[in-house]
Structures are given as C-alpha cells and as structure tokens.
Structure 1
Amino acid sequence: MSDRLNDDTLLELARDVRRPAYDRRTLKTGIVHLGVGAFHRAHQAVYTDDVLAQDPRWGIVAASLRSPDTYDALQPQDGLYTLSVRSREGEALRVVGSIRRVIVAPSEIEDLLNVMAAPQTRIVTLTVTEKGYCHDPATGALNEAHPDIVHDLAYSMNPKSAPGFIVEALRRRRMNGVPPFTVLTCDNLPSNGRTVKRVLTRFAELVDPELGRFVADEVSCPSTMVDRIVPATSDQDRERIGEALGLTDAWPVVTEPFTQWVIEDSFPHGRPAWEKAGAEFVSDVEPYEHMKLRLLNGSHSTLAYLGYLAGYETVADTMSDEAFVRLIRGLMDEEVTPTLHMPQGADLESYKGALIERFKNPALKHRTWQIAMDGSQKLPQRLLGTIRDRLSSHAPIGRLSLGVAAWMRYVAGTDEKGTPIDIRDPMAARLREVANGAGRSGENLAHGLFAIREIFGDDLPADPRFTGVVVSHLMRLYEIGAKRTVSEFKVG
C-alpha cells in the first residue's frame, strides 16, 4: 500500500469511512494541546472534530513534550489519523481532522511558545499523564526539586515541562497585553483543575511574584473528568485499518464506543460548543471525578497488577476469569460506592454495570502491562484516597489493599515465574533500590515501599489497619500467586 493518508488522499477513502465534515483549509488555531498521544486523539480531538463544521476557529495545534514519534507519524498526514471504534459488533472507522499541526517541543521550543502566546489561542489542553505535572502526588503541590522544574526555573525561556511552557506563554501574553488562555487539564488528578492551578501558581511565583499573582487571579483552570479506554495501537491494528482505508495510516487510534467528558464551565474567553458533541458542562466536576477515578481507574489498576501477575495479557483476558469479575464487582459495590456522593439523577448501578462490560470487551486489546505503568503516580488517587475515606469510617479495605499489595509484588521486578518485569515508572530506580534491599522478604519490601512518602504520605504507613492487611495480602501473593489469591479471596 503506497498512498499515505493526508489532505490530498481524503477523497480516495473507502465509502464507509467517515471523514471530516468541513473544509480543513478554513480552520484557525484556537486550542494548543500539550501531550499529544492516543488518549487525546481518541477523546478531546474527536469532540472538537464534531463541532468544527459549525465553528472553525477551534482547530488544534498539538505538541509532544518528549518524543518525535507522533510528529513523524502525523505531520506527513497533515495531522489526519483514523479512529477505530471497536466493539463485539465490529469496527467503525472515521478520519479525524481537528489537529492542524504537530510540534515536537524539545526541538521547536520557540515555535510552540509563539503559538501558545498568540491571541487567537484561547485554550491550552493537557494530557501529559500524572507525572507530567511535576507535582507531589501525595500532596498535589509542585515538586520544586523535580529536575525539569529546576531546569525551567533557571532557563524559563527554554522550558522542558508542561508547567514551564504554560507559565512562560502566560508571561508573554501578559507582557503583550493579551488575555490569558484557559488551562484545561484532561488527566487523572484529584481535583485536577485546582491541582493544576496550584502547580502553575507556585511555579509562576518562583519565576516572579507579580506573575504568580496574575496566574492566581486571572487564569481559569476548569476541572474535568474524562473517560474512554484507549489501548496502545498494534502493528496488527495498523495493517487491518490500512486495508479498510485503502491508504496507509502510520498511527491510527483504537478505542471503545463509550466516551464521556464532564467539564466545569469556566471559560472566560470562549470555548467550542463541545456540548453539541456530547460533553456535559456542570458546576462541580468533583463527584464525577471521584466516580471515575475510584470505580474505573481504581478497578483498572487492580486488574492490571493482579492480572499481569496471574499471566493474563489483557484486561479482557483477565475478566474472562469469573473470580476476577467477582473481586472487581465487590470492590466497586462494597468498598468504593460508599465513598461516593453523586448528584441526584446519577445512575451508579448502570455505570458500574457498563464498566464490567467495557472491561470484558474482547475487541479491545488493552494490555495489563500498559495500565500498570506509572503506578507510583496513580496509586494515590486511584486507590489510596478511597482507602483513607474507608479508614476514616472504620470500614474494611480488603479488596482495595489487595490492589496495593499487587502493585508492590509487581514492582518487586520479577513475575511469578522469575522473569524480569519491564517496570515503567518515574520512580523506577527508587523502586528497584527498595526491592533489591528487601531481598526475598515480602515484609521488608512492603515496609520499604511504605517509606516512600511521595506515594503513601505520613498517615498510611503509621496506621496498622492499612499496613497489616497490605502485608498479609503481599505475603499471600508470594506464597500462592495472584490467581489463587483472587480465586480464594474472602472478605476478612
């Protein structure tokens, strides 16, 4: 297949492939996105694509803060890519056109800052994962010792980090009398809008106290909740999608039919009409955020660590084991749901039932190893926050603590057959040091990991109701393995 997907070949697409319903030549740049990856391209970029026919001012310039891979794939395609929505019923394809251009930040720093500082840019969105905010996950504060933050404070006009780019662009806008853009985080952080506002304000204060006051007073950071499962694209996906298109697409995105976006409506300088594409604007996102972080993400992480250890490659494989279904449904019903406080009309039972079906979707090859990445950043909001709420109510944490113990067993670095695990985590070196120091002792491993306050804080390691049950689970995982531990699990 020689022809590449791009603006010139759009008309060559197979008839059953949906394509942009607008003339891409009319698009303006209204949004800059930091952290262009599969999730953004399956979620926010699709919502934006759905409204551009009515308002072409909101085209996206997307930036990669690290790797040039996305640029290399999409720039020759004029930013176009295929979205594959897969379910038990089959696959539906559409070409998404909302991304006008891709920038590789490390090699195009000034270009990216100029686009962010331009008056027509009114929103900066982010999917940089939890670690991209350079914050302390246990407190939500800026990690002022983070190497990228140290660099960016010393060389503020040549930033590396997302906070560094945002604050430098805001400084230039303020200097030129241009109103600030809205900063819209779409990552899984607790109270994500308030967290990013705290991080940006503190960084700006360290650059210049006056700039800090400007960010605190003038920059809007709405909270959001995003939900869509997006596995990594495989070579088989590329081949199958290319055959269906009749064109080569270097980096299509595969996802599920379900999608949700709940947004606090605080955009002083305008926004796309995302509600016409199905987004929900609310005054308080926090209940929805807790619902998703604790039910979906907490369950996902628990499945990832236990499933990987049990030898299951994907979430769907793991959920083909009824013992895992029982564990996760019990986690949702008995340990997570009592901590949620949803607005009237929210249907938690339907949401939980849909989650189980989504996890079971065999068309999505969502690898347990992929979900297991960056656990040191994810545990505090996905599991530990729920555990704190349960402990404060003197309620049991059996399943939640099993998820924590499974993470500990996973980051020990070898699976149940003695094969090394490829640990991908910003704290990987520190985790490896703890594991090496623990030797073959599960108890030493647990207490070594409890001592990492950036993950567990000061309260949980001092609470025997938490440490005792985690150590007990961890010892059982070592003794009988993940599969038997799950199949024999009983609430104690």
Structure 2
Amino acid sequence: MNQLNATTLKSLIPPSDLEVVAANNLPERVIQFGEGNFLRAFVDWMIHRLNKQGLFNGKVVLVQPIAEGLADKINEQDGLYTLLLRGLQDGKIVEQKEVITSVSRGINPYTDWTACLQCAENPDIEFVVSNTTEAGITYDPADRLDNTPPVSFPGKLTAYLYHRFQHFKGDTAKGMVIIPCELIERNGEQLQALVLRLAREWGLPAAFGEWVAKHNTFVNTLVDRVVTGYPRDEVQELEQYLGYHDGLLNTGELFHLWVIEGPEELAERLPFAQTGLNVIWTTDMSPYRTRKVRILNGAHTSSVPVAYLYGLETVKEMMDHPVMGKFIRQVIWEEIVPSIKLDRDMLSDFAKSVIERFENPFIKHYLLSILLNSSSKFKTRNLPSLLEYYQLNGTLPERLVFSLAALITVYKNGIIEGAAMKAQRTAGEFIMKDDLSTLEFCAGAWKAYDGSAQSAAKVAYTVLGNTGIWGTDLNTVPGLTSMVTAYLYDICEHGIQDTVAKLVE
C-alpha cells in the first residue's frame, strides 16, 4: 500500500481538484508551535479550507514543542495527512474526509533551532498559533535566551520575537498576531505577560518590550472540538477504504467552534467566517466561555459521577441509557440552561449541539477519565449553575444537588494509595484521581458514617463546609445541606440506581 505524500496525492485526486495540488506552492504565513492531533484537525484544517477558496493563500510551518514529536513524520509525508470527521447532524450520521494540504513542513527545534529562528526572518510569516497543553503557558525560571532552544513555550516565543525584532531592526510593521489555543482563561493575555517578564529578566532592550506590547497582537481564544486522533483500533479498515497508508491519519468530531477576542480587522485577514466555519470574532468572549463551561463541561461534570456509580463506562452508553440519558437531558434543559443569564436562543442552539455531540457513535469518551479532578471541576462548572438557579427561582435544582451528593459518594470507602484513591462502586474497584488533600479530607469525612441519617448529615455538613474545596461554605446555602443529606442517605441505603430512577420520573 502506498505511503501518502505529494506524489501519491497527485495520483489520487481528480483533475478537477487542481487547487489542492497548487496549494503546495503557497508561501509560509503561519508558524505553529504544536504539531499534534488537535491543531491539525482544527487550525490547519481551517487554513486548508481558506486556501481552497483562495481566501488566505498561505501555509503553516509546524514546530514540535517537545523533544519527542512528529516533525520527521510530517516531512516524510510532505506535510500531508488525512482528516476524517464523523458524527451526527440532525440525527443522521455524517462523514467528511479530506487530505489536508495547508502544512508546509515540520521543524524539530531540539535538533535545528536555527530553522525555527529563520522563520522569524520571513516577512510573510505574520501569525503565530500554539497549543502546547494547559501547562505550556507557564513560567520557567531556568529559561535562557541562549538555550537552543529555550525550554518553555513562552521562552521559545520570546526568543523568536526578539530575533524578528533584531532582524527587522524594530520595524513596527513586522509585529505578529499571536493566537494561542491552550485551554486556560485569557490565554493571550497570560502569554503576553510571560513574554514581557522573560524579556525583562533576560535583560533585553526596553525597546523590544515596547515593540512586543504595542506592535504585536496577542488575542484570547476559546477552542472547542473533540479530536480523537490516530484511530488505532480501526486503522487497517480505514486504510483499505482510503487506498493508502497515512501515518498521520487524524480523526475528530464534526462540531467545531473557535471564539477569538481581538481587533475586528483581524477577521478580514483571517476570513474564516466567509468559508462557513464556526469562527466568532468578538470584543468580549466571556459569554461564549460561560456557555461552554456551564453547558458542555457542566453537563459532563454533573452527570458523570452519577453514571459511573450507576455502572456505566462511556458517555455514549450514558446517553443511550433509559434512565441516565433522561437524567443528563433534564440537567441540561431544566437546570443548567435556565440558570444562565444569556440569550436563550444562543444557549438552546449550543445545548442541542452538545447533546448531539455526546451521542456521537464514533467517540468513545470514558466516564472515568472525565471523573478526574471532579471536585475542582464541580466548583467551576456546576456550582455557578446551582447557585444562580437558586437565586433566580428561590428553590434548589434537584438534579445538580443530586450530582453533588453523588460526587461526595464517590469518595465513600476510599483508601488513599500514593497520590490517588482506591475507590468502590457496585461494579467494582476503581482509581479516583483528585487533589490529594481533597481525597484525604473526603475519605476522613466518611468515617463518621454509620448507616444512620444523622451520620449522613454529619458527612454532608463536613464536606460542604470545606471552603478550600468549594471556595465558600456551602452550608450557608438555604436547604442545600438537608437536600444533600437526604440524597447521600438514599444512595447509601437504597443504591444509586433506585435513587436516580425516582429523581427522573
């Protein structure tokens, strides 16, 4: 079977798709720190779409952010790879297959840092994109300008921008647009602050810091697409279908959303919306972040402790289940959406897409992986919905409160082993990972339980009163402690299955 490369591609595509072959001659206009599955199924796919319609006419050079990466494989395939997007649209299975041609080459900065700095000398390269994981935008005091390369991504970017500043002699027109995709709040602002900090600590000229601050644009972003990556379990079947071997074959869901908070003129330089892509340029991304965190992430966090204790394993299994499928839909439509003070149509459209995404038969999303660090997730994703629902209605949202009780129950009978907890459910033993102090505290709180309603109340009061976990004493919320107590006792004495079944009737 042939390997995917430029020669193979020319023999595969029909003559009518000449723009795909012609795209090989486009100049590099984007440098991307990160060559993994997500960016190749998100940003590089979007640039490919722009190029096909003649709206960008540029390529992306990929820099692998860690020593072990894909640069060599990318170069072996001439930057080409197949992207397979699959999912549900209006209840029907839809599949989209494309060979992505927007990548020019890969660079391994750990073996060729010079090649990366040479990109800074290219006046055509005006955009920086990154996805170096949430831990990528962090300060590393060991970073130095003369490291080849600097260890951290902010260090690499600072060195890159300084090289550009020197090469173009501080030309204000040669500033760059920096578009981070890391999943941290205000990612652009945080990245800019780190670059300026490193510039000061490295003793770089004040003029460079001024150039970075005034003539480079750091935007904040919110990205959303589930990318399932290389399909190891079905690769042989898919390559028979494709007719060639692709070591970079990538898969993901159909849904995508990119919210970019930045100057409006950038929307003209990167006209994603003109291609029908779900990219939103805005001066305030907070409503979109609230919508995603509260509905998408909140639906996961509120339902997963219940579903996992119930005995289920995946999100799709949960959605198809007659009881748990009803539970999660009720949580979304009857409690989360009504608690958010934003445009109802905007919320409803997103909620519908979330449910369809959870039903995607091509994505195997394990509940146990979502259960990771659930206490901090509940505080960020679900507690605002619970509290705001109470403020709006004067009553507590029963299912969100039940999900809190189920989360507390996860820690029952848990045994701390190292930095994790060996926990129990009816289906058997599992490893619960959370902040160690939270695991230890909750395990300790459950020692008070002796099977009585009074002891359940003590557990509820103790856990809800931990301000270190929740950021506030939840016992002060009227009625919450008594409702959590009742749910804890019901779960312990009658089981999660009977208790949730009564709740969704």
Letter in 2 for 1:61: V
Contact preservation (8 Å) 1:86, 1:256: yes
Q: Give the TM-score taking structure 2 as reference length.
A: 0.75
- Secondary structure of the equivalent of 2:431? coil
Q: Which has the higher contact order (CA 8 A, sep 6+)?
A: 1
Q: CA deviation at 1:67?
A: 6.2
CA RMSD of aligned residues (A): 4.3
State whether structure 2 residue 121 is matched by structure 1 residue 121.
no
Q: CA deviation at 1:181?
A: 1.5
Contact preservation (8 Å) 2:231, 2:249: no
Contact preservation (8 Å) 1:84, 1:255: yes
Question: Which is worse superposed, 216-225 or 355-364?
Answer: 216-225
Q: CA deviation at 1:188?
A: 3.6
- Secondary structure of the equivalent of 2:61? strand
State whether structure 2 residue 436 is matched by structure 1 residue 421.
no
Q: Give the TM-score taking structure 1 as reference length.
A: 0.77
Question: Which is worse superposed, 442-451 or 362-371?
Answer: 442-451
- Secondary structure of the equivalent of 2:141? helix
Q: 1:402 to 1:207 in 2, by over 3 A?
A: farther
Equivalent of residue 96 in structure 2, options 92, 95, 101: 92
Which structure: larger Rg? Answer: 2
Q: CA deviation at 1:10?
A: 0.9
- Secondary structure of the equivalent of 1:257? coil
What residue in structure 1 maps to residue 273 of structure 2?
275
Residues of 2 paired with 1:40 and 1:475: CA distance?
Answer: 46
Q: 1:440 to 1:452 in 2, by over 3 A?
A: closer
What residue in structure 2 maps to residue 139 of structure 1?
none
Deviation track 1:271-314 (CA, whole Å, cap 9, x = no partner) reads: 33212222333333221222122211222344455444544333
What residue in structure 2 maps to residue 460 of structure 1?
472
Deviation track 1:21-62 (CA, whole Å, cap 9, x = no partner) reads: 352331222112223332222222211101114156431122
Contact preservation (8 Å) 1:81, 1:96: yes
Q: 1:55 to 1:356 in 2, by over 3 A?
A: closer
Q: 1:263 to 1:487 in 2, by over 3 A?
A: same
- Secondary structure of the equivalent of 1:101? strand
Contact preservation (8 Å) 1:63, 1:105: yes
- Secondary structure of the equivalent of 1:52? helix
Contact preservation (8 Å) 1:405, 1:474: yes
Contact preservation (8 Å) 1:130, 1:377: no
Deviation track 1:147-195 (CA, whole Å, cap 9, x = no partner) reads: xx23226977642322222233223333332533212123443344444
What residue in structure 1 maps to residue 455 of structure 2?
none
Residues of 2 paired with 1:50 and 1:336: CA distance?
Answer: 35
Equivalent of residue 172 in structure 1, options 160, 163, 166: 163
What residue in structure 2 maps to residue 295 of structure 1?
295
Q: Which structure 2 residues correspond to residues 407-486 of structure 1 after superposition, within 5 A? A: 409=410, 412-414=421-423, 416=425, 417-421=427-431, 423=433, 431-432=435-436, 435=439, 439=443, 441-442=445-446, 456=469, 459-460=471-472, 464-465=476-477, 486=500
What residue in structure 2 maps to residue 183 of structure 1?
178
Residues of 2 paired with 1:236 and 1:365: CA distance?
Answer: 11
Contact preservation (8 Å) 1:203, 1:212: no
Residues of 1 paired with 2:25 and 2:482: CA distance?
Answer: 59
Contact preservation (8 Å) 1:32, 1:63: yes
Contact preservation (8 Å) 1:13, 1:245: no
Equivalent of residue 116 in structure 2, options 103, 112, 116: 112
Contact preservation (8 Å) 1:19, 1:96: no
State whether structure 2 residue 247 is matched by structure 1 residue 250.
yes
Structure 2 gap ranges (5+): 412-419, 449-458
Question: Which is worse superposed, 352-361 or 466-475?
Answer: 466-475
What residue in structure 2 maps to residue 49 of structure 1?
48
Question: Which is worse superposed, 214-223 or 432-441?
Answer: 432-441
Contact preservation (8 Å) 1:238, 1:251: no
What residue in structure 2 maps to residue 133 of structure 1?
137
Letter in 2 for 1:28: P
Equivalent of residue 220 in structure 1, options 209, 217, 221: 217
Q: 1:216 to 1:14 in 2, by over 3 A?
A: closer
Q: Between Structure 1 and Structure 2, how many residues are aligned? A: 467
Identity of aligned residues (%): 24
Structure 1 gap ranges (5+): 135-143
Letter in 2 for 1:321: H
